[in-house]
Structure 1
Amino acid sequence: MSSRQRKRRRRRRLQTRDGSFTSISKSGDSLLCREDDNSLLCGKRLRDSELDLPEDIWCNILSLMPIEDSARSACVSHAFERSWRCHPNLIFTEDTLSMIRNACRKGDRASAFASKVDQIIKNHSGSVKILELDMFRCNDLNICHLNSWLKIAITPVIEKLTLCLPVKYKEGGYTFPCSLLSGQSGGSLQYLWLKHCVFRPTVGLSFLRNLTTLYLGRVCITEGELGCLLSHSLALQQLELWYCSEIICLRIPLVLERLKCLSVTSCGVLQMVESEAPNLSSFMFYGSPVQLSLGQSLQVKKLNMECVDGSDFLHYAITKLPYVVPNVEDLVLSSYGERLNTPMTAAKFLHLKHLVIYFDGDSSPGYDYFSLVSFLDASPALETFILGVQQDDMNFDSISVDALHMRQRPDHKHKSLKKVTILGFCSAKSMVELVCHILENATSLECIILDTIFDAEDNYILGRCSVTSDRNPGDCFPTTSQVMFEADRGLMAIERYIVGKVPSTVKLDVRGPCSRCHI
């Protein structure tokens, strides 16, 4: 054997503290690797050494380790193996099972995933507190063993259950066995996350008394079944529904006194959201316009609404929302098609501090951005204002070179406004007028950012990779030649009409296209 071969063989072995060796599976399959014949001796030496600890302490230590590391430790000794078999957190994903690292062929991935999970769960000898089964990419998975896995893992001590099936099961290919959660089995469950399955809860699930978080994604469940579940989940704090296509009317009962966060996304046939939860503080909605009734909504402080397939959403927001959520402090509005200018109104957002408004670019060519002053006027406590405009089609008239007369509203002061950001700033005359109005009437303004490229992600403002150290080349939002042309016109409008009106106490930050990504 050559010296190089000996070194390579040595690298494939794991040396323990006492000098004995345990072989590691060459395939990298750390979860299913076998112990060396010396492992029993190794375990005995560990017990006789300064590492001698009670087995329950070893179990506690290994329970705090990631499942991959805990499984690897089982290769060292019988003492660690016993702890591994009692590991309370079973998180099965392609990553934790080394499916990605081992580069399984597409046809073998599902079979290998099922084989590993089946072996680990059936050999498990302890109580499972966390079970996560992420099989989203295993499209050829045969789920005949799934019920048996759940039956073994769902016991009176389980706290968190996550089940994500492949997309093909979203239309009713698998029905979650709700009977496993009845009686005392679901009494300790705090977190339930289901995706791509059928869920038909009954009165028997009234024992989900400790459930605090419920997420249902592409799950078949009727409003009656959901109502039955919610009426008995008195500890619920967070509810999220995502693409649940059977719910027509979502009713949140008064008994959910601990519910704080509600999120509803793209529930296709939904027509009404009615909440009586007295302590609801955050509500997020994405979808077609629905009838909204938040009942006892005095505690709602954060509201994020993105309405699709409907026009004039901002008109609805300025005239109706002050009465629906009178104490809102953080408001995000996304519009898909404004045909009417935003009107002035007597309604006020008296407590609003942070306002974000996004346009998707399908607004009317005649939309007046200057009319957004009505939102500033209706928000006397507003401190931060972010406007994002995705201009895929340039549906506006660019400000002309000799446009000297601009609209002014000197009687509308915004004394609390400190920071303004406009993403996708363009040369539209009404947008230039909006910025000039803010500069002249926001007496506490500290900073204004004018970005001629719309580049935002999850409501966080991003800089250009050419000037921001924490962004890599190519991270900037892609653009078209038409957007690039308008960005140049926007920069010229800033230079000609805005720069000269910036007070000395205000910092102006102008951002143009990225020198790396936007050529």
Structure 2
Amino acid sequence: MLLQDIWCHIHSLMPMQDSARSACVSHAFLDSWRHHPNLILNKETLGRNACGKGDIARTLISKVDQILKKHSRTAMKILKLDIFDCHDVDISDLNNWLQIAIIPGIEKLVLSLPSGYQEVYTFPCSLLFGQNGSSLRYLQLSYCTFRPTVGFGFLRSLTKLYLRNVRTTGGELGCLLSNSLALQLLELRYCSEIIYLKIPCVLERLSCLNVSACNALQIVESNAPNLSTFNFNGDTVQLSLRQSLQVKNLYMGCPNVSNLLCYAITKLPYVVSTVEDLKLSSPSGERVNTPMAAAKFLHLKFLEIYLDGDLSPGYDYLSLVSFLDASPALETFIFRVDQDEMLFDSIIGGALHMRQMPEHKHNSLKNVKILGFCSAKSMVELTCHILENATSLECITLDTIYDAEDEDFVGRCSETSARRSGKCSIQTSEMMLEANKARIAIVGYIERKVPSTVKLDVRGPCSRCHTLELISS
């Protein structure tokens, strides 16, 4: 018996496919395979041709059925069932498989169903009642309906919950959350029935909340006392973080909302006053300049702003100084701007008068990156303002080419990129022309303002892939 326990332990450490193959060697190995605690059933492990319709789907169902029935007497720890590409799986088969898997001892359950199954399949919550769900630590559901009710089982071990393309309401989710006291991470994506998301105060261990593309959502209220990271992507909502003193990291991306920066500077200081790391993504662009802040981010040390989409013609980049003014402890500022159309007044050949704001000091700012630096007069003014008023500045990086996939400049035919793709990303002639103008603006207006204690790092298109014709300033 001791030898069999050793074989079972060895097989539990092996990848599932290797353990299954070894079952053909001997009866002892076969028995060990049947006790394998971790089952990952997907296209890779079942065979790339296992998903589909008709006979192919029946083959998949037969394979999964045999594997799970052979493990029916074993306490599984992990079941990952990913049948995303198979649209002919019957509801009764799904329920039978889950009934085999969800027994005392199960720790991780991942169920990924085909797109559209949230309309026809309801996850059997009753399987999680009592001891069956008491050991579950990780639950991930995709493309199903999830209807926990009042009196839902006590999931005392659940630490991570992921719901993606799942039909559930805020009230139903609350029934689960109020009985999951060990929960540390909650992620909701494309959960279109949630209007009001309320996080109860009993979730004392919840530290991370991710909410993305829940289109009906209007209110997010969190009473979790130790929530430290909040990642939000979607339309702006009413935020109520009643225990906001612990929120240190906040990301907001609003793909369908213009003027996110205006919303952030006027609303967020009152919602997350102690935030230390703030990232804002405005894919729909800004129609108005950023106003001055009435309140401050007193603890903010890292700020990243990403502007994409259409900016209003003549958008005033210098107005971003309001974020710097509102953040007296700010140490790092990263500004990413991706413009398809160059709708601004270039400083090249324009007026030499530059606005100055000498009363605005940024004594803690040490590191600045502007990715997508252009020759817009207001962007040059913003850069000069930082150089003149950031008394602790150590390094400023100006990149005249913005590449979303080239954050660390590895796509510029450097030694690193040569080991990867060996070539730069494609740039239009308009982008190349503007990169040349931006370089001229740096030489003509910025370089002379760089203090001797500050490192200036200027990036641009590489000479090997792109040839620039110099334009006289």
Aligned to 1:238: 185
Structure 1 residue 209: Cα displacement: 1.8
- Matching residue within 283, 293, 304 for 2:240: 293
Of the three residues 435, 440, 443, the one matched with 1:492 is 440
Tell me which residue corresponds to 1:508. 456
Tell me, yes or no, if structure 1 residue 211 matches structure 2 residue 158. Answer: yes
Q: Distance in 1 between matches of 2:57 and 2:6?
A: 36
Name the larger-Rg structure: 1
Deviations 1:236-271 (A, max 9, x none): 111111011111111111111111111110111111
Q: Which residue of 1 aligns with 2:404?
A: 456
Map of 1:481 onto structure 2: 429
**Change in CA separation of 1:476 and 1:270 when aligned onto 2, cut-off 3 Å:** farther
Number of residue-to-residue matches in the alignment: 464
Q: 2:378 aligns with which of 398, 419, 430?
A: 430
Contact map agreement 1:315 1:342 (CA 8 A) in 2: yes
- Aligned partner of residue 184 in structure 1, secondary structure: helix
Pick from 18, 23, 48: which aligns with 1:69? 18
Q: Give the Cα–Cα distance (whole angstroms) in 2 for the partners of residues 375 and 288 of structure 1.
A: 22
1:378 aligns with 2:307: no
- String of CA shifts for 1:138-165, please: whole Å, max 9, x gaps: 2444454111111111101111100011
Q: Is the 8 A contact 2:50 2:60 kept in 1?
A: no
In 2, Cα distance between equivalents of 1:423 and 1:113: 48
Query: Counterparts of 1:235 and 1:346 in 2: how far apart (Å)?
Result: 38
Cα deviations by residue, 1:368-388 (Å, 9 ceiling, x for unpaired): 111111111111111111111
Contact 1:455 1:461 (C-alpha < 8 Å) held by counterparts: no
Partner of 2:256: 309
CA distance in 2: counterparts of 1:515 and 1:144, whole angstroms: 62
Aligned to 1:59: 8
Q: Please, which of 82, 89, 97 is the counterpart of residue 31 of structure 2? A: 82
Aligned counterpart in structure 1 of residue 265 of structure 2, from 315, 318, 333: 318
Aligned-partner residue type, residue 62 of structure 1: H
Residue 105 of structure 1 and its aligned partner are, at CA, apart by 7.9
> Equivalent of 2:358, from 410, 414, 433?
410
Contact 1:478 1:518 in 2 (8 A): no
SS in 1 for 2:246: coil
What is the correspondence of 1:278-289 to structure 2 with a 5 Å cutoff? 278-289=225-236
The verdict on how the C-alpha distance between 1:516 and 1:255 changes in structure 2, with shifts beyond 3 A counting, is: farther
Residue 105 (structure 2) aligned to one of 153, 157, 160: 157
- Spell out the pairing of 1:43-192 with structure 2 (5 A cutoff): 54-97=3-46, 99-100=47-48, 109-124=56-71, 125-170=73-118, 172-192=119-139
Contact 2:43 2:51 in 1 (8 A): no
Distance 1:486 1:110, change over 3 A: farther
Which one of 207, 221, 227 corresponds to residue 174 of structure 2? 227
Distance in 1 of aligned mates of 2:161 and 2:335: 33
Identity over aligned pairs, percent: 67
Please give the per-residue CA displacement for 1:253-308, whole angstroms capped at 9, x wherever unaligned. Answer: 11111111111101111111111111100001111111111111100000000123
Q: 1:399 is aligned with what amino acid? A: I
| TM-score, structure 1 as length reference | 0.84
Moved more, 303-312 or 126-135: 303-312
2:344 alignment partner AA: F
Aligned equivalents of 1:189 and 1:475: distance in 2?
47
Asked if structure 2 preserves the Cα contact closer than 8 Å seen for 1:474 and 1:516, the reply is no
**DSSP 3-state at the match of 1:483:** helix
Corresponding residue of 1:347: 295
User: 1:110 deviation in Å?
Assistant: 3.5
CA distance, structure 2, for counterparts of residue 186 and residue 229 of structure 1: 12
The answer to which of 399-408 and 58-67 deviates more is 399-408
1:393/1:322 Cα in 2 relative to 1: closer, same or farther (>3 Å)?
same
Which amino acid in the other structure matches residue 513 of structure 1? P
Note the C-alpha offset of 1:430: 0.6
**Alignment check: 8 A CA contact 2:52 2:86 kept:** no
Q: Hey, what's the Cα distance between the residues in 2 that align with 1:514 and 1:361?
A: 25
State the 1:402 CA deviation.
4.7
Equivalent of 1:195, from 142, 145, 150?
A: 142
How far apart are residue 109 of structure 1 and its match? Answer: 4.9
Structure 2 match to 1:364: 312
The separation in 2 between residues aligned to 1:235 and 1:317, in whole angstroms, is 32
Q: CA deviation at 1:495?
A: 2.2
C-alpha distance in 1 between matches for 2:287 and 2:141:
39
Aligned to 2:277: 330
With over 3 angstroms needed to count, the CA separation of the structure-2 counterparts of 1:203 and 1:370, relative to structure 1, is same
CA distance in 2, matches of 1:251, 1:77: 54
Cα RMSD of the aligned pairs, angstroms, is 2.3
Pairing partner for 1:252 from 199, 203, 213: 199
CA distance in 1, matches of 2:28, 2:466: 59
Q: If the length of structure 2 is used for normalisation, what is the TM-score? A: 0.92
Identify which of 196, 213, 230 aligns with 1:266.
Answer: 213
Q: Distance in 1 between matches of 2:212 and 2:350?
A: 47
Once the two structures are TM-superposed, the CA of residue 232 in structure 1 deviates from its matched residue by 1.2
CA-CA distance at 1:315 after TM superposition: 1.4
**Distance apart, 1:103 and its partner CA:** 8.9
